[in-house]
Each structure stands twice: as structure tokens, then as C-alpha cells.
Amino acid sequence: MAAVGDARTRRATVREDAAKERDANAVTRAAITRHGGTSALIDPVRVDPTRVDPTPADPTLAGSAQVDAALADSALADSAQVDATLADAVPVDSALTDLPLADPAFRADVLAGLSRRPRAIPARWFYDRRGSELFEDITRLPEYYLTRTERSILSAHAADIASLTGPGRAVVEFGSGSSAKTPLVLSAVAPSAYVPIDISGEFLRDSVAELERQFPKLPIHPIEGDFMHRLVLPAALANQPRLGFFPGSTIGNMNAPAAVDLLRAMWETLGEGSKLLIGIDRIKPVSVLIPAYDDAQGVTAEFNLNLLHRINRELGGTIPVSAFRHVVRWNDTEARIEMHLEATRDVSFSVDGCPFAMSKGKTIHTENSYKYGPRDARLLLRSAGWTPIGEWTDREGLFGLILAEARAVPAAP
């Protein structure tokens, strides 16, 4: 009897939670609709019309969501009519206009990501200044084997890499961050120029200042931007051969279609005959992977939770951050580490004037980190027109560093 009673109570609670979420989400949908759907949420001046938005519901670094598509996909689509009365109750106009500094793409991704089911926000939004600093702290953690392993591979094989690339190339680094590994490459390959590309602007400028001190004669052309967009390289590089550098297994933060799209875009940006040096993390026992993303000091948890602080700071959010916890899972089917933020109690909050509710135990999916076997990694590169010409790993085979060449794809036999 008790069990039946419990089950009934649980069902009733679930229904109530769902109703609460529907109410909050109906208001959000109304607010978005009142402002003309997606276009009202994206400042036409600042949004790149060439951007291609990959499939939603995956927190890839690439994924910039389409608000309308996401809403249509989500449970919200069930609340057929937009309730104008509810919409009027929300001070949307002031909320939207009082936040002049918010990146419209960030706002659109967050609103769409919190509206869809499962909830998911693209991982690239981790990297405000604080997020970049926290990532640097992560790279020094004993559990986070990736950075020190890749660095040791680069040091051990710099001469081989240099002999395969040849001197005089412009080095174009995607997601350069602190550029901490870059001196190893620049010192080895005698570059003609260096182009670091990163979305985290302030951090990029600091890193460039440091590199200029180390390489005073090297022309450096930083680009603050999203590497998923079409990028125009500085005119000074017009006739220089190029070497792309994409370390850190940042490619692992994208699902396979987004990764192939990005690698193809790099091929186009860098051009035929270019080389690409890319770091890709390998599949390994879960006993090593989980601690790398759930460290004892809680730095990765802070990195994950900083996304909620950023939403509160930049989008006028009222998210009770202490009601969320960092959760890490290994998804064996997809061969990826997943990071989530789980509500530890029922919560309701607003972002940019739009109300949201989450029941205890529900999560926001914030990052995927795909891991590849050596053959899978090479196939990924080939799928985008990059032919591997060199490959190095560490003694334990934890991490792979691949040098590939942009070749014209030959006709199939």
C-alpha cells in the first residue's frame, strides 16, 4: 500500500513539476514571440550572416541555437497558444533593452538551450575571462593529463614536426587560449607569422602580449572571433604557406558532423597544400577519464558553474547557482565525456526577463568531450580532406598528435 501511495504522490509531483515548467516556458515563448522570434533576440548588426548553425540539442562548441527551432522541438511546443496575458506580466522590454553588453548570440543560445529538452548550452560560452582562467587552472591539475601529455609529445617530436612542415609557414592557431603550447611549435618551425584565433578576447590580448615579448621579431595578427565562422586571414599572409595548429583536443568538444564541418572550413581558410597539427585525446579507461573532468579540488566544477554566473552577469539572470551541482558522465555509446549542471532542488529563475523552471534532478548539458581511437581520429581528418602524414603519441598512448596535409580529395575508384 505504502508503495502505491508513494508512487501516486510521485506521479502527482511529477505532474505538478511539469505544469510549473510549462507555465514558465509558456511565458518565455510568449516573450520571445512578442519580440519577433529569433530575429528580435539577435542584434542584426553583430550577428555574422554567414554563420551556419548546426543541429541543436548538443552542447558542441559550434552549436549556436535557433530559438524557434529549439522551441518547436521542446515540450513547449505542446502549449499550443501563446498566452498574451502571461506575456504582458513579464517586464521583457526593459529586460532586453537594459543589457546592452550582452552578446546576442550568447543570449539566443542560452534562451534556446534552456527551452529545449534536453536542456543544452554550447560549450563555447564557458570562455569569458573567468572561464579562460579556470581552464588554465584545469590544465595544471594532476588529474587533467591532456595538457601535460600533449606538451610532452610536442617537446619530444618538435624536430620531426619541423622537418615535415618545413620553415617559413604562417602558423594559424584555432582556440589559442593562453598560447602556452605555442612557443614549442614556433621555436621549432621558424614561422613567417603567427595568427592566434580565440573567442575569449581579453584573454587573447594578454596571451599575445606575452608572446610578443618572447618572439619580438615575429609578426603576430590576433583574431578575436568564433572559429566556426568563415574567417578572413590577414592580407599580409596572402602568399605565405600555412600551418594550422589546433591543440588541446578542442576538436573533441564537437560532435562528428560539427567537427567535420570545422575541419573542412579550416581546409578552405588555410588552402590546399597547407598543413594542420592537431591534438586529439584518445579513448581510455573510465577510471582515468572521470577524474580528469571531476577533479578532487573542484576546479572543473567551478569552470562548469561559471557558465551560470556568466548568464547571471551578462544576461540579467537570477539563477540560484548554489542550487546546481557539477555532474560528469561517460557516455560509452557516443565515446564521450559529458558535463552537466544538475538542479539539486526545484528551481525557478529568469534570464533576460524570460522565466524558466527546473525540477530537482534535471540537468543542463554543458559540454561533450569526444575521445577517439587512433584510426577514428585519422578517419575524421580524411573525411574533411586532411591526409595524415605524421602521428605521435606518448608512451602510454593517452593522447595523439597528428600532422595532416590539405590535399584535393581524389575521385573515388
Residue 112 partner contact from ligand AVI, ligand SAH, none using kind-dependent CB cut-offs of 5 to 8 Å: none
Nearer to ligand AVI, 176 or 192 (CB): 176
Nearer to ligand AVI, 295 or 405 (CB): 295
Binding site for ligand AVI (CB under 6 A): 138, 146, 248-250, 252-253, 293, 300, 303, 367, 369
Q: What single-letter DSSP state applies at residue 251?
A: G
Close Cβ partners of 398 (under 8 Å, ≥ 6 residues apart)? 145, 146, 149, 281, 282, 284, 288
Instruction: Give the shortest CB-199-to-ligand SAH separation in angstroms.
Output: 4
Instruction: Give the shortest CB-170-to-ligand AVI separation in angstroms.
Output: 24
Location of C-alpha cell 555509446 = 333
Nearer to ligand AVI, 144 or 356 (CB): 144
Binding site for ligand SAH (CB under 6 A): 61, 124, 127, 132, 135, 139, 147, 175-177, 181, 197-200, 226-228, 247-248, 250
Nearer to ligand AVI, 124 or 169 (CB): 124
Residue 138 partner contact from ligand SAH, ligand AVI, none using kind-dependent CB cut-offs of 5 to 8 Å: ligand AVI
Nearer to ligand SAH, 113 or 248 (CB): 248
**In 190-255, alpha helices (H):** 201-214
126: left (phi over 0), alpha (psi -120 to 50) or beta: alpha
Helix (H) or strand (E) holding 244: strand 242-246
The dihedrals phi and psi of 213, each to the nearest 5 degrees, come to: -65, -40
Close Cβ partners of 347 (under 8 Å, ≥ 6 residues apart)? 319, 320, 323, 324, 357, 358
Instruction: Give the shortest CB-246-to-ligand SAH separation in angstroms.
Output: 8
Residue 293 partner contact from ligand AVI, ligand SAH, none using kind-dependent CB cut-offs of 5 to 8 Å: ligand AVI
Nearer to ligand SAH, 326 or 362 (CB): 326
Instruction: Give the shortest CB-369-to-ligand AVI separation in angstroms.
Output: 3
Contact 87, 30 (CB under 8 A): yes
Nearer to ligand AVI, 295 or 352 (CB): 295
Instruction: Give the shortest CB-102-to-ligand SAH separation in angstroms.
Output: 18
Instruction: Give the shortest CB-175-to-ligand SAH separation in angstroms.
Output: 3
Residue 132 partner contact from ligand AVI, ligand SAH, none using kind-dependent CB cut-offs of 5 to 8 Å: ligand SAH
Instruction: Give the shortest CB-207-to-ligand SAH separation in angstroms.
Output: 9
Instruction: Give the shortest CB-198-to-ligand SAH separation in angstroms.
Output: 5
Residue 208 partner contact from ligand SAH, ligand AVI, none using kind-dependent CB cut-offs of 5 to 8 Å: none
Name the residue whose CB lies closest to ligand AVI: 369
Contact 384, 145 (CB under 8 A): no
Location of C-alpha cell 552577469 = 313
Question: How many angstroms separate the most distant Cα atoms in the chain?
Answer: 80
C-alpha radius of gyration, the chain, whole number: 23
**CA 393 – CA 351 distance, rounded (Å):** 44
Helix (H, G, I), strand (E, B) or coil at 260: helix
Close Cβ partners of 141 (under 8 Å, ≥ 6 residues apart)? 292, 295, 297, 299, 300
Nearer to ligand SAH, 96 or 199 (CB): 199
Residue 60 partner contact from ligand AVI, ligand SAH, none using kind-dependent CB cut-offs of 5 to 8 Å: none
Name the residue whose CB lies closest to ligand SAH: 248
Nearer to ligand SAH, 112 or 358 (CB): 112
Q: What is the dihedral of CA 237, 242, 248, 250, to 10 degrees?
A: 80
Helix (H, G, I), strand (E, B) or coil at 270: helix
Contact 107, 352 (CB under 8 A): yes
Nearer to ligand AVI, 60 or 253 (CB): 253
Instruction: Give the shortest CB-132-to-ligand SAH separation in angstroms.
Output: 6
Query: Which residue from 365, 308, 367, 389 is spatially nearest to 119, judged by alpha carbons?
Result: 365
Instruction: Give the shortest CB-65-to-ligand SAH separation in angstroms.
Output: 14
